[in-house]
Amino acid sequence: MAPKYIIEHMEDNLHEWCLLEYYHIATFIHPSNLYFTNLSMIAETSFKNSEIPKETNFITENIINMNVPMDKICLLDPASNQVLEPTDGDAFEYFLFGGILGDDPPRDRTSELRRLGFTTRNLGAMQMTTDTAVHVTKRIVDDRVPINQIPYIDFPEIKISKTESVIMPFRYIAIPDSHKSTLQTTDNEMKQNIVPLLPSGMIDLLKKDGDMAFEF
């Protein structure tokens, strides 16, 4: 049985950043195995009007009210003292993530789920975006790739104009650069010809946010 992935939405609103990351998740997790929980009615409507497949499970209730046995759920928690391993794909049926916008430095908002008593695993010490955390988890428990065999890029610098760039304070999966990249990377990354795996539309959103920062 394929693992199921639950993203407990923990923001007050459905921000553009969240929607881009959630849509990215829907491109590599089958809709029947993907759950978005704790949605307000507004967020649920936004989801159903988005490009996320309609077969995806959109749920207004939170994870506790889903009647899923606690021992079947693994919470991905940066504070866990145990690293996620391929064999955890046999031990758990559901993998739970906090759907939050990352902070720099992190504010440990996963604690809101941790205190509910789920078994936890971590994905290493570096903070990841929600879509990256789900993708890494899938690689480990579904594809059976150990965490230390997944290629990463940390803190990629993304060029948003001729004179401006943004450093993303997260770890991303590294992929081959198949075309001329808009990303500024370290010398080592350039030699490897790799770029971070970003949601479609993320660079445009960064440019938009950069433009808004100069509006008064």
Asked whether residue 93 carries a pLDDT value surpassing 50, the answer given is yes
**Token output for 191:** 């030699």
Q: Comparing C-alpha atoms, which of 175, 207, 208, 210 is closest to residue 193?
A: 175
Average pLDDT over residues 138-151: 97
Q: Are residues 97 and 193 in the same domain?
A: no
**Contact status, residue 118 vs residue 71, Cβ threshold 8 Å:** no
Q: Are residues 118 and 172 in the same domain?
A: no
Give dist(CA 197, CA 171) in Å, integer: 10
Per-residue pLDDT band for 72 (boundaries 50, 70, 90) equals very high
Q: Are residues 62 and 164 in the same domain?
A: no
Give the CATH number for residue 40: 3.40.1280.30
- Find residue 5's DSSP bridge partners: 34, 95
99 or 33, higher pLDDT = 33
Considering the chain, what is the average pLDDT of its residues? Answer: 84
Q: Are residues 35 and 113 in the same domain?
A: yes
**Contact status, residue 149 vs residue 155, Cβ threshold 8 Å:** no
Asked whether residue 32 carries a pLDDT value surpassing 70, the answer given is yes
Q: What is the pLDDT of residue 213?
A: 39
Element (H, E) at 17: helix 16-28
Which of 127, 149, 171 is the C-terminal boundary of a domain?
Answer: 149
Q: Are residues 77 and 127 in the same domain?
A: yes
93 or 15, higher pLDDT = 93
Q: Are residues 183 and 108 in the same domain?
A: no
Which of 102, 125, 149 is the C-terminal boundary of a domain?
Answer: 149
Which of 133, 149, 165 is the C-terminal boundary of a domain?
Answer: 149
Asked whether residue 9 carries a pLDDT value surpassing 60, the answer given is yes
Q: Are residues 142 and 182 in the same domain?
A: no
Asked whether residue 105 carries a pLDDT value surpassing 60, the answer given is no
Average pLDDT over residues 147-176: 90
**Token output for 61:** 């209730």
Give dist(CA 103, CA 111) in Å, integer: 14
109 or 52, higher pLDDT = 52
Residue 165 lies in domain: 155-213
The pTM assigned to this predicted structure is: 0.86
